[in-house]
Amino acid sequence: MRIGFRRAVLALSAAACGALLSAAALPLASQGQTPAYRAPRTPDGKPDLNGIWQALTEANYDIEMHMARPAMALRQGPYGPLPAAPVLALGAVGSVPPGVGIVEGGEIPYKPDALAKRKENQEKWLERDPEIKCYLPGVPRATYMPYPFQIFQSQGAIFFAYEYAGAVRNIYLKDPGPPPVDSWMGQSVAKWDGDTLVVDVTGFNDSTWFDRAGNFHSDQLHVTERYTRTGADVLSYEATIEDPQTFTRPWKISVPLYRRLEKNAQLLDFKCVEFVEELMYGKWRKKPLSGE
């Protein structure tokens, strides 16, 4: 009996070890599935992230999972919300499409007063969304706006150029120390964790939003991004958001980025600053345009 028990224990342990070992043998990225993709290397042996990438998502409208909505600026109608007067002429073009969201766990963990501020942001969207003024989009919003961005990676340098507003990010491979002032796009310092590029972003101002739904942050924002090639034309993007002034705990977003495969794929000029001059300065023209 005792021998049988011991053998059973031994057998169980062996089985457990075997299970552990086989689990360890599988690459972390795909346990229980096909082996992880191994990206081609740059000459210095790092996964090659070069290329033009773009997210395929509605997250720029609202990073949380959401139903379609009549517009980004709403007014109360007799039977529910309607497009506010300034956006009414856009009709369905101005409506908000539904989205499955990119927030892991579904909801952003706002502190109560921050949640109230988000509601205020939504009510005052036209005045407050920095995208309307073509302000620099910040991180992570720049990643999942529906426009391409290009990664330049050589030995010794990594650089991101975004088509939207010509935003740029220098991804330092050597930590230059704390950022001396706040900035819109933050200061990015990167290192490799196996085949994942981990980018630590600090030094943000409090002026960017996460989307068009009023989701915001303070200047305590700290973003940790993870870029991993998961296929010939797919780059997995995850970002951890920390901001103790705004949220009750850190939270994560994740969204795949796809390679732009068109033969003539390239970033073109999207200097929207020019397009918002009439909105911002039109009243100061010598002859302001008529408000037809």
Partner 1 sequence: MTRTMIARVVRVLAALGAAAVVVSLTATETIPRMPDGHPDLQGTYDLATLTPLERAAGSSLVLTDEQAAKLERQAAQQVATGDAPLKADRSAPPLGGDGSIGAAGNVGGYNRFWLDPGSHYTMLDGQRRASILIDPPDGRVPQVTPDARQRNTRAVRATSDQQIRENDPGLEPEGSYDDPERRPLGERCLLGFASTSGPPVLPNYFYNNLHQIVQTRDSVMILTEMVHDARVIRMNAQHLPKTIRRWLGDSIGRWDGDTLVVDTMNFTDKTRFRGSTENLHVVERFSRVDARTVRYQFTVEDPATWTRSWTGEYAWPATKDLIYEYACHEANYALEDILRGARLKEKETKR
Partner 2 sequence: MRSRLSILAAAAGVVMAAAIPVLAHHAFGGEFDPNKPVLLKGTVTKVEWVNPHAWIHLEVAKPDGTKEEWMVEGGTPNTLLRRGITKESLKIGTALVVDGYQARDHSQLRANGRNVTFPDGRKLFLGSSGTGAPTDGADPTEGRGRGRGGQK
Nearer Cβ to partner 2 (174/283): 174
265 touches partner 1 by CB under 8 A: no
Provide long-range contacts, Cβ within 8 A and 24+ apart, for 256-259. 256/55, 256/56, 256/230, 257/53, 257/54, 257/55, 257/143, 258/53, 258/54, 258/55, 258/56, 258/233, 258/234, 259/51, 259/52, 259/53, 259/232, 259/233, 259/234, 259/235
Q: Which does 161 bind (CB under 5 to 8 A by kind): partner 2, partner 1, none?
A: partner 1
Output the smallest distance, CB 121 to partner 1, in A: 18
Residues 133 and 276: beta-carbon distance below 8 Å: yes
State yes or no: residue 261 binds partner 1 (CB under 8 A): no
Q: Which one of partner 2, partner 1, none is in contact with 189 (Cβ closer than 5 to 8 A by kind)?
A: partner 2
Query: Residue 32, interface with partner 1 (CB under 8 A)?
Result: no
Give me the residues paired with residue 259 across strands.
Answer: 53
Residue 170 to residue 181: CA distance in whole angstroms: 15
* Cβ neighbour number for residue 55 with a 10 Å cutoff: 22
Element (DSSP H or E) covering residue 226: strand 222-231
Residue 200 contacts which entry, partner 2, partner 1, none (Cβ below 5-8 A, type-dependent):
none
Stretch that binds partner 1, among 22-30, 64-72, 110-118, 268-276 (CB under 8 A): 268-276
Q: Least distance to partner 1 from the beta carbon of 35, Å?
A: 27
Interface region with partner 2, contact rule CB under 8 A, candidates 38-46, 124-132, 170-178, 231-239: 170-178
Task: With beta carbons less than 8 A apart as the criterion, state whether 272 and 133 touch.
Answer: no
**Which residue carries 């630590």 as its tokens?**
200
Nearer of residues 80 and 156 to partner 2, judged by Cβ: 156
C-beta closer to partner 2: residue 19 or 173: 173
Residue 273 in the binding site for partner 1 (CB under 8 A): yes
Q: Which stretch binds partner 1 (CB under 8 A): 103-111, 235-243, 254-262, 270-278?
A: 270-278
Do 270 and 146 contact (CB within 8 A), yes or no? Answer: no
291 binds partner 2 (CB under 8 A): no
Residue 173: which of partner 1, partner 2, none does it interact with, CB under 5 to 8 A by kind?
Answer: partner 2
> CB burial class (10 A; 0-12, 13-18, 19+) of residue 95?
middle
The answer to whether residue 182 forms part of the interface with partner 2 (CB under 8 A) is: yes
**How far is 292 from 290, CA to CA, in rounded Å?**
6
* Segment interacting with partner 1, rule: CB under 8 A, options 15-23, 56-64, 157-165, 244-252: 157-165
**What is the nearest approach in angstroms of partner 1 to the Cβ of residue 269?**
5
Q: Got the DSSP string for 62-84?
A: -SS-B--BS-SSEEEETTEEEE-
Residues of this chain that bind partner 1 (CB under 8 A): 43, 50, 133-136, 150, 152-159, 161, 166-168, 170, 176, 180-181, 183-185, 207, 266-269, 271, 273-274, 277, 280-281, 284-287
